Amino acid sequence: MRNKPLILLMLIVGLPLGGLTWLGVRVARDDEAALKQRFEEVFATQLYDIDGAVSRHFESNSIELRDTARQVKSAPDSIRALIRRTPQLRQVLVLDNVGSVLHPDSNSDLNLAEREFLHEAQELIRDRDLIHVSTGQSDSVQKKQQAEAALPTRGEESESLSAASGSSDEGWHVWYWGRGVHLIFWQRRDDGKVVGLFIERGRWMADLIAALPETVNRQHDGVSVATTARFRLVDSMGQSVYEWGEYEPPEESTPLTETAVSTPLTSWRLQAFVPDSLLAGASSGTAFQLASGIGAVACALIVLVTVFWREYSREVRQASQRVSFVNQVSHELKTPLTNIRMYADLLAVDLENLEESTGGKFADRLRVIVSESQRLSRLISNVLTFGRQQRDALILNPRPASADELVRRVIEQFAPTLSRLGFQTELKLDAGQPVMLDQDAVEQILVNLISNVEKYAADGKLLKIETCRDNSKLRIIVTDAGPGIPAAMQRAVFEPFVRVSSRLEDAAGTGIGLSIARELARFHGGDLTMMDCASGASFCVELPALEEVRDA
């Protein structure tokens, strides 16, 4: 029970913190996704620019090759000389308008390279690829190729570039042979002849690489580089052809974004890799802010709760100190009061032995002293009981006793006061049989009830006490004819320190009488309840009526 406030306080701290964290994490995650998207866009733009550089490279190369193609004459020696002086030129294929090979002519004296080339390109020549491409018939031609099925048809590639260069009589043709893509620049002459320039595969790749950026190591300039990436050009098999950028992505990592290369290398792709730490690093800012925000709120809450808790516990402590002080004082009061009562009683006996005439006046005054000291004694015992109850230190000591006798004894105790106030006492006692009772406790209950009647229902001039016993229950009902208790207060009167009226001119009281009475009754295994009645108030004490102690 004492932990209840503590748990409450922890909840006060925990719930908002939890909510805040959850919210924060969501915000951070959204941030990360947004950031990743932004990065993707940035890098997609970069890849687009790179691809632009690639296509510009091939465009300017095709302009160069257009001139080269025009220089192709029919004499084999002149073609050979052209090949010898043109670095990127590997071989030249000249076809007539139906696709027959004019050069290299296998019927003439060919050199080794030309013979090898004819062997290599025999399929290309047989299928009249270049003729189809150059006359724009390629769409209808479905070719078996060593290339992937996913690749666009070769004709489309050639045509799109032809369109770009403003004429349809020249363009790139992509040929898959051996280790991969081979590039052919074709040109159709007015007489229908088609010249195919076969580019050195090693050369156009090297030139392409040279046209792409290299890794710039900015660390040499003393600049630490926070934003690094890796760009990669991959061929149709997904193999890296060239890459640049300082970031070294782990193997098998997936690119942040990628894009296809434009003509003629449409089966190749450009990829961008970015370290996870870059994405995480940017969002770790928000994560940090979030964590610190949550931390600050947590600190504030904890401080607040600690202050609150300390105040609270100090008050609790002070209250219990006050109670124990009152208890001690009350205890201290008991002994002198007992002495006062004892000597008052002895004085009363002494006065009885005096002559009637002189003693009468003294005896009356002495009776007031005795009754007031009894009242004080009751008050003290109530306070002590309350203190014990607060410390959970109540102990019962049941013994066989008659309830009726107890009632009589208490009434006797109150008799002088009651008669002085003009009370009419009605007793209807029907529980003479002794049962197990803690006499002190039951007496205290009765005393509290009767003193309430005396205090608050003096106007009614009636005190009615009934006792009865049915089977296992003993009932003692105390009824008065006073003003009664308003319905709204009927439950509250049993709470400690609650009084029906707090006005000073009303009867004095501590407000703990009924509370103690009920607690004692409950502690005794019974209860104290209020009964409905037409006028006044009626309290019923219900106690278990055990003949003797069953269990020790």
Partner 1 sequence: MSRTGRILAATVALSVSLSAITHASQVSLSVAMSNPVLKSDQKQTAFLKVGLEGFRMPVTTERVAVNVALVLDKSGSMNGRKIEEAKQAAIQAVRRLNANDIVSVVVYDSTVEVLVPATKLTDKDAVCKKIAQVQPGGRTALFAGVSKAAAELRKFIDRERVNRIILLSDGLANIGPSAPSELGSMGASLKKENISVTAMGLGLDYNEDLMVDLASSSGGNHVFIEDATQIAGFFAKEFNTVLSVVAQEVAVTIDVAAGVRPVRVFGNQAEIAGQKVLATLTQLYSGQEKFLVLEVEVPASPEGKARDIAKVSVAYDNMLTRSTDQLAGKASVNFSSSDEIVASSVNTEVLEAGVLLFANERNKAATILRDKGDINAARQLLIQNADYLKKYAADLGSVQLDAACNLNTLQSKNLDDVQWTRSRKAMRLEQYVIETQQSYGALPESTPSQTQASQTPQKQPAAPQPRR
Using CB under 8 A as the binding rule, whether residue 76 contacts partner 1 is answered as yes
Closest distance of CB 114 from partner 1, Å: 7
Choice between 218 and 399, CB closer to partner 1: 218
Query: Which is nearer to partner 1, 75 or 393 (by Cβ)?
Result: 75
Are β-strands 257-260 and 269-273 bridged in parallel, bridged antiparallel, or unpaired?
antiparallel
**From candidates 21, 46, 86, 259, binder to partner 1 by CB under 8 A:** 86
Contact with partner 1 (CB under 8 A): which of 201, 341, 455, 461?
Answer: 201
Residue 186 φ/ψ, nearest 5 degrees: -110, 155
Interaction between residue 102 and partner 1 (CB under 8 A):
no
Candidates 29-37, 104-112, 340-348, 371-379 — which segment interacts with partner 1 by CB under 8 A? 104-112
Residue 75 contacts partner 1 per CB under 8 A:
no
CB atoms closer than 10 angstroms to residue 212: 18
* Cβ proximity to partner 1, 172 vs 423, nearer residue: 172
Q: Where are the alpha helices (DSSP H) in 71-153?
A: 76-85, 112-120, 122-126, 129-134
Q: For residues 167 and 240, which CB has a smaller minimum distance to partner 1 in the complex?
A: 240
> Does residue 109 belong to the site contacting partner 1 (CB under 8 A)?
yes
Please tell me whether residue 119 binds partner 1 under the rule CB under 8 A: no
Phi, psi (rounded to 5 degrees) for 309:
-65, -40
Work out how close the CB of 259 gets to partner 1 at its nearest, in angstroms, rounded to a whole number. 19
Please tell me whether residue 259 adopts helix, strand or coil conformation: strand
Alpha helices in 174-244 (DSSP H): 201-211
Nearer to partner 1, 206 or 507 (CB): 206
Q: What would the two tokens of residue 232 be?
A: 């990669």
Say how many residues touch partner 1, by CB under 8 A: 41
Among 61, 62, 68, 88, binds partner 1 (CB under 8 A): 88
DSSP string, 494-524: GSTT--S---TTS----S-HHHHHHHHHHHT
Site string for partner 1, 207-246 (x = CB under 8 A): x-xx---xxxx--x---------x---------xxxxxxx
* Alpha-carbon gap, residue 262 to 266, rounded angstroms: 5
Backbone angles phi, psi at 260, to 5 degrees: -80, 150
| Minimum gap (Å) between residue 33 Cβ and partner 1 | 30
Per the structure block, which two tokens stand in for 58? 């091939």
- What would the two tokens of residue 534 be? 């037409």
Residue 547 Cα distances to 335, 440, 441, 469, angstroms: 35, 18, 18, 12
Report the distance separating Cα 349 and Cα 356, nearest Å.
12
Residue at 424: amino acid letter = Q
Closest CA relative to residue 130, chosen from 176, 95, 160, 89: 95
* Residue ranges in 392-451 that form contacts with partner 1 under rule CB under 8 A: none
**Would you tell me the crossing angle of helices 356-390 and 439-456 to the nearest 10 degrees?**
110
Would you say 179 or 550 has its CB closer to partner 1? 179
Which structure tokens are listed for 257?
């974004």
Structure tokens at 275: 């370290």
Confirm or reject binding of residue 90 to partner 1 (CB under 8 A).
Answer: yes
Q: Which of 107, 108, 335, 471 binds partner 1 (CB under 8 A)?
A: 108
User: Is 375 near partner 1 (CB under 8 A)?
Assistant: no
Query: Is there binding between residue 11 and partner 1 (CB under 8 A)?
Result: no
Backbone angles phi, psi at 162, to 5 degrees: -60, -45
Q: Tell whether residue 98 is a contact of partner 1 (CB under 8 A).
A: no
**Binding mask 159-198 vs partner 1 (x if CB under 8 A, - otherwise)?**
-------------------xx-------------------
- Smallest gap from Cβ 210 to partner 1, in A, equals 4
Residue 254: CB atoms within 10 A of its CB come to: 8
- Name residue 187's beta-bridge partners: 170, 195
Our CB check for partner 1 shows the closer of 116 and 459 to be 116
Collapsing DSSP to helix, strand or coil, 482 comes out as coil
Nearer to partner 1, 119 or 220 (CB): 220
Q: Which stretch binds partner 1 (CB under 8 A): 9-17, 84-92, 287-295, 500-508?
A: 84-92
Interaction between residue 202 and partner 1 (CB under 8 A):
yes
CB nearer to partner 1: give 117 or 423.
117
The correct pick among 184, 205, 270, 406 for binding partner 1 (CB under 8 A) is 205
The CB-of-246 to partner 1 minimum distance in angstroms stands at 8
**Is 114 among the residues that bind partner 1 (CB under 8 A)?**
yes
442: phi then psi, degrees, rounded to nearest 5 = -65, -40
Cβ atoms of residues 194 and 186 within 8 Å = yes
Pick from 157, 202, 194: which is nearest to 175 by CA?
A: 157
For the CA atoms of 108, 112, 118, 121, the dihedral, rounded to the nearest 10 degrees, stands at: -160
Q: Which of 206, 302, 346, 427 binds partner 1 (CB under 8 A)?
A: 206
Given the complex with partner 1, which of 109 and 355 has the nearer CB atom? 109
DSSP state of 225: P
Site residues for partner 1 per CB under 8 A: 76-77, 80, 84-88, 90, 108-114, 178-179, 200-203, 205-207, 209-210, 214-217, 220, 230, 240-246, 248
